[in-house]
Structure 1
Amino acid sequence: MTRSEIVMDFLLLEWVGKPIWMWLGFLAIVFALLAFDLGVLNKKDKEMGIAESLWLSAFYISFAMLYGGAIWWAYEAGHISTEDGTHAGVTYFTGFFIEKALSIDNVFVISLIFGFFAIPRMYQYRALVWGIIAVIVLRGIMIGVGAALVQEYDWLLFIFGAFLIGTGIKMMIVPEGDSDISKNPVVRFLKRHMRVTDQLHDQKFFVRQPDPKSGKLVVWATPLFLALVVINLADLVFAVDSVPAIFAITTDTFIVYTANIMAILGLRALYFALSAMVHRFHYLKYALAMVLVFIGAKIFWNQIFGKVDPVISLGVTAALIAGGIAYSLWKTRGAPPAANALVAEKEAIERAG
């Protein structure tokens, strides 16, 4: 067997339901986007303005829409799966919108973490983009394990459904929690078990400095690295909501993973615009809570009575999210930003644990 035949056989091997070439192709697209983002668009550290944030976010959202269209066409043409193309496309877009909307809560947590570690805005974007690499791996592990469990034990979907309904109800009725990041056990653990510099060193995550006791040069972490670690741990906490929510839409692991990552890619770009106006989205949390309850209830309906048309799921999800955004913008018009920001901050921290 020739080398090219061995490579071809490897690429055609299936991994969690899809050929390896599909997974490698998607990851190649993601890393090409990140390389273009860091190496061309944001080669120099600078503070990203709201206008630039919106333009870059529009680029990522447009790319995610085009990718969803390509998925739709590839499934429909039978190049990827025998599954109906319309069903695959609609579930991709539904998963994308759900993940994008649920991720809005993450924005204030990220802002608080950067503020706690005194990270200037000019270094924040680069840290967020590097954090995506960790998210790609961690979300992949969570989704892979979740898919394997659901395939082996389909009754776990009932647990997912109950969890989503419970989370949605909790979001609507549970009061806000403590927002002091210094009390976070992860932050305290890292500071106790790592050498951490008092000052930033530009965009570096690690530096070599003399040990105060021995005088030898040793590796120290910078506050930028600690911020990156805490942000990614917070993302894992938020994934506990979003991953079961997408599994409630489809158990196609490739659709779940690609929709998840595409939504997160754009969130990093949108962060700088959202962080400046997140106080305007105070009432969105109730819309997101209803989305979670709807998706959780849909799991029980699907398992007992039969699958709900994915177009209905997409329509209800989009309507709830759009309604929550519109009502929030209308209700908070002319309100002082500081007061609304405090409320939004406490709500986001409560969800992050």
Structure 2
Amino acid sequence: MSIPSWVWIVTLVVVVVVFAFDLLVLGRRPHEPSRREVSIALGVYIAAAVLFGLGVWVFSGGQHAGEFFAGWLTEYSLSIDNLFIFLIIMAKFGVPRKYQQFALMVGIVMALVMRGIFILVGAAAINQWSWIFYIFGAFLIYTAVKLAKENIGHGEEDDEDFQENALLRAIEKRFPVTQSWDHGTRLRALENGKRVLTPMAIVVIALGTTDLLFALDSIPAIFGLTQEPYLVLMANVFALMGLRQLYFLLGDLLKRLVYLGLGLAVLLAFIGVKLILHALHENELPFINGGEHVPVWDIPIWFSLGAILVILGVTAIASLARTRGKRRAAARRGEPQD
């Protein structure tokens, strides 16, 4: 897939304009969005992603279109998992509802910039060393096992907490921070003649750095579905574009996706296996099969896309069935429901 320079430039300009417009609007008019507002915006972003995928199909064929859709769905599902942590961060820092959109937007912009750097590094590494797929695959399988262990036996009533990372602790130690939300969406303010960071600054750093940690899983995962940097970038852009709307639209529904963690573990394990099979298929390491390609099945993109849809579908159906069953049981016992 050959992408002309002008397409890259136009794409990046459009992305910057869209995010800049969002930031300016939210910065001037912070508010808690209505369900209608987020539903329309989310519908527009999803429609734009589908149209983009169809455009890839028309201009580059079904193979690349399938890679984009598989990557977009994977990034979207992993991003939904991020929302659990975002909810915890918002609660921990007591972010007023009317400021949460702005906090999410700035955090998402930071995440997109950092993911762009990850994508450039990952693409360069893949072009230079084909054996990097072994590392990506092993890392995803390790992550999948770890995620599955964390979710097995994890009850809905378990309390989760957000632990500040080293960067946040260093910033709070080095710079004075005010605890007042009177400064709204500003990141810095003047208090008692001193420049201080606002709670909004700490929140957006928490959101951005937390998403960066999630990118350690998602970027290798999408490279397991497509090695085209342009498609990798656009899958991430469209996934992050709808993340803010999903946060407000889904709300408590997120708590009903009780098997999401297990579903994502299966998804990451599948992509990890796919990466290792691809690495064996393209093998150049001298200590494996004498440096020759290993005749294994290189999973095609149509199979990957189908597997992703099945995994996510089963996860959603099983989760909703489980929570519905628990609600009915609680109702029969006369217990209050959420």
Distance 2:121 2:259 in 1: 33
1:94-133 aligned at under 5 Å gives the runs 94-133=70-109
Conservation of the 8 A alpha-carbon contact between 2:85 and 2:162: no
Structure 1 position 178, deviation (Å): 8.0
Q: In structure 1, what is the equivalent of residue 146 of structure 2? A: 170
Q: Which runs of 5+ in 1 are unaligned?
A: 1-15, 76-84, 211-216, 340-353
Distance 1:42 1:69 in 2: 34
Indicate which of 23, 37, 54 corresponds to 1:69: 54
**What is the percentage of aligned positions where both structures have the same residue?**
35
Q: In structure 1, what is the equivalent of residue 42 of structure 2? A: 57
Q: In structure 1, what is the equivalent of residue 235 of structure 2? A: 259
1:34-45 aligned at under 5 Å gives the runs 34-39=19-24, 44-45=29-30
Conservation of the 8 A alpha-carbon contact between 1:117 and 1:223: yes
Structure 1 position 331, deviation (Å): 0.8
Distance 1:186 1:258 in 2: 28
Q: In structure 1, what is the equivalent of residue 321 of structure 2? A: 330
Q: In structure 1, what is the equivalent of residue 209 of structure 2? A: 233
The residue matched to 1:208 in structure 2 has which SS? strand
Indicate which of 50, 64, 71 corresponds to 1:88: 64
Q: In structure 2, what is the equivalent of residue 136 of structure 1? A: 112
Distance 1:23 1:292 in 2: 29
Distance 2:126 2:191 in 1: 49
Closer, same or farther in 2 for the Cα pair 1:335/1:318, shift >3 Å?
Answer: same
Q: In structure 2, what is the equivalent of residue 192 of structure 1? A: 173
Structure 1 position 318, deviation (Å): 0.9
Give the TM-score taking structure 2 as reference length.
0.84
Q: In structure 2, what is the equivalent of residue 24 of structure 1? A: 9
The alignment status of 1:204 with 2:183, answered yes or no, reads no
Q: In structure 2, what is the equivalent of residue 269 of structure 1? A: 245
Q: Which runs of 5+ in 2 are unaligned?
A: 282-295, 331-338
1:240-251 aligned at under 5 Å gives the runs 240-251=216-227
The residue matched to 2:212 in structure 1 has which SS? helix
The residue matched to 1:219 in structure 2 has which SS? strand
The residue matched to 1:220 in structure 2 has which SS? strand
Q: Which moves more between the two structures, 228-237 or 261-270?
A: 261-270
Closer, same or farther in 2 for the Cα pair 1:221/1:40, shift >3 Å?
Answer: closer
Aligned residues: 307
Q: Which moves more between the two structures, 106-115 or 35-44?
A: 35-44
Conservation of the 8 A alpha-carbon contact between 1:56 and 1:270: no
Corresponding letter in the other structure for 1:333: R
Indicate which of 258, 268, 278 corresponds to 1:282: 258
Distance 2:325 2:180 in 1: 38
Distance 2:326 2:175 in 1: 43
Structure 1 position 132, deviation (Å): 2.7
Give the TM-score taking structure 1 as reference length.
0.81
Closer, same or farther in 2 for the Cα pair 1:275/1:295, shift >3 Å?
Answer: same
The residue matched to 1:181 in structure 2 has which SS? coil
